[in-house]
Chains A and B, each alone.
Chain A
Amino acid sequence: MAEALVIEATALRKTYDGVDALRNLDLAVPAGSIYALVGRNGAGKTTLIKILMGMARATSGNVRVFGQNPGSSDEGIEIRRRIGFVSDEKDLYASMSVEELIRFTASFFPRWRNDLALEYSRRFALPPSLKIKALSRGMRTKLALLLALCRGADLLILDEPTSGLDPVMADDVLQALVAHVAAEELTVFFSSNQIAEVEQIADRIAIIDGGRAIVSGSVDELRERYCRIQLIFEDAAPPATLRSAGVERITRSGRVMTVLSSQGSATVLDEVRDLRPLSVEVSPVNLKEIFLQSVTVED
């Protein structure tokens, strides 16, 4: 049976003043997953999130959240009723106090969790009477997270939830998120350029670059599929082109040729035998290497 998809995008394109922010992006986020959208600054992560939230409209292509179109006014309202959202800027109403903003947000969500609001207020040490404009960035992030977690949402969309936080505070926020997701049945879709935090909490990942999803899949599956094959030659590495399926990148440096394969090592090893390398070494790659290899241009 096919997995139920919470977010589905096909051939999604978004253009700003003639410049493509998203180019034929395909994405499928299964229910119950913790899905990380990873990419460099300007890769299109925030644009995609804005389209999912109905803040921007796609130029072409198809996007569905809970099977509905976020670009439609009525369907967008229904979608947002089921989403807890934290924006990249963590911009909240400066003129309200923490307590006022919690009360304000609660009034829009019938499934608002007062018990959780109290619990997170204590845990994050948020002073109820303090104005938002007086909060530090870290405190504002925690408040934004509280406001997202307590909505009783089926889907959390978090745009760079830990950006600008020191490592201790970032860990604090991630711990709270992981504990919440473990206790509630929900889907998390978050963007990040912090590979370490992605490895810490995500079970699925899409690497986005130049507005396209260039790699996607479960984190475990990617780790199994991807490997690095290092070949050392007697003289300079030959300028060979490998035809094996799954060859993502070939880099050469002196006598060393490094091949990144996304489909294991077997077929590549068969092919490189003809090049007569002195030695061959196959090693696993971590997410950071997959990311770096995927988004950097071949030397």
Chain B
Amino acid sequence: MLWQKSWLETRWRFLIGAILLSCSAAVTVFTYPTVKELLSLVQGNATGALGRQIRESAELARTFPGYIWSESFAGNQRQWITLFAILLGTASFLSTSGGASFTLSLPVSRRRLLAVRTSTGLAELFILAMFPALLIPLLAPAIGESHGVASALIHGFCLFIVATIFYNLGFLLSTIFSDPWRPVLIAIGVAVALGFLDRVLRFTPLSLFDVMSAERYFRHGAVPWAGLLVSVAIAAGLYSVAVANLVRRDF
């Protein structure tokens, strides 16, 4: 029954996320023919940082997998999954729909309550990462293109693993703050700051967002195992701190 409660309390965040991510993936696929037509308009001699970026994007968009990677796995999907990981993580089992003291009056340990809520959230996050990724090879034939299922699975998996960091960050923050807004805003702030370090300052000794988009896999066919393992370790660390926080917290 705890599973049902967790599902009832997170289902709207999950369903909205599933619809948005799926629509985003579908729109990316179906706009490819138009993008391909516009490629001829891109000038090859554009200069400066912006010109270089335009040329890189145009180059990637010459192939369907390159276009999908740059627009979806390294673009929209990465941003959406980060946002929904935070929203699902901050859906604390003690604050989303009231009933904290009722929950704590049940003959269940706090660790079990947290394990059920986290398992439900991670299962939802997994679907949010994998389902839209799998939509791409499914929809590609409709525009006369193809995309490997294995590649989509690997990209979806990398999105999921790194997103668990943001899920657990949101979860940890929700154990510190009792209102629903500060955990969301702080976690989004952390994600934006990491993105800033990553892209603007080019501080990428171990970029979470590069691991998330699986750039190495896209360019060289190598799954970023080290980055994934580090991500799992960070997520597990955040989860452990959150559990320790909540187990000793007074309500």
Contacts and interface: CB of A to CB of B under 8 A. Distances in A.
Interface stretch (B3-11, B119-127, B163-171): B3-11
B98 A91 contact: yes
A96 B8 CA distance: 8
Given A91-B99, A93-B98, A54 B104 contact: yes
A184 B9 CA distance: 35
A68 interface: no
B250 interface: yes
B224 to A, nearest CB: 39
B109 A77 contact: yes
B226 interface: no
B105 A80 contact: yes
B106 interface: yes
B251 interface: yes
B200 interface: no
A88 B106 CA distance: 16
A57 B249 CA distance: 9
Contacts of B100: 91
B251 A104 contact: no
A109 interface: yes
B107 A78 contact: yes
A73 B110 contact: yes
A53 B104 contact: yes
Nearest to A88: B101
Contacts of B4: 104
A85 B107 contact: no
B146 interface: no
Interface string A79-95: 01101010111011111
Nearest to A77: B107
A16 B250 CA distance: 10
B111 A73 contact: yes
Contacts of A113: none
A105 B102 CA distance: 10
B250 A50 contact: yes
Contact of A95 (B8, B248, B251): B8
Contacts of A88: 101
A56 B249 CA distance: 7
Nearest to A144: B102
Given A56-B251, A80-B106, A85-B105, A104 B5 contact: yes
B41 to A, nearest CB: 51
A107 B116 CA distance: 16
Interface residues on B, range: 20 to 34
A92 B102 contact: yes
Interface in B1-48: 1, 4-5, 8-9
A92 B1 contact: no
A56 B5 CA distance: 23
B97 interface: yes
Contacts of A54: 104
Interface string A17-60: 00000000000000000000000000000000010011111000
Given A73-B109, A81-B107, A104-B5, A87 B251 contact: no
A95 B9 contact: yes
A80 to B, nearest CB: 4
A222 to B, nearest CB: 30
B97 A93 contact: yes
A81 B101 CA distance: 15
B98 A94 contact: yes
Taking each of B109, B110, B250, which has the highest tally of chain A beta carbons within 10 Å of its own beta carbon? B250
Contacts of A93: 5, 8-9, 97-99, 102
A57 B250 contact: yes
B171 to A, nearest CB: 19
Contacts of A73: 109-111, 247
B108 interface: yes
A92 B98 contact: yes
Nearest to B12: A95
Contacts of A50: 250-251
Contacts of B247: 73
Interface string B86-118: 000000000001111110111111110000000
A83 B5 contact: no
A109 B250 contact: no
Taking each of A53, A55, A81, A89, which has the highest tally of chain B beta carbons within 10 Å of its own beta carbon? A55
A107 B1 contact: yes
A54 B102 CA distance: 12
A108 B109 contact: no
A124 to B, nearest CB: 17
Given A89-B101, A91-B99, A94-B99, A77 B108 contact: yes
Contacts of A109: 107
B104 A95 contact: no
Contact of A55 (B8, B109, B250): B250
B107 A87 contact: no
9 contacts: A16-B250, A53-B105, A55-B105, A55-B251, A85-B105, A91-B98, A93-B8, A93-B9, A94-B98
Interface of B: 1, 4-5, 8-9, 97-102, 104-111, 247-248, 250-251
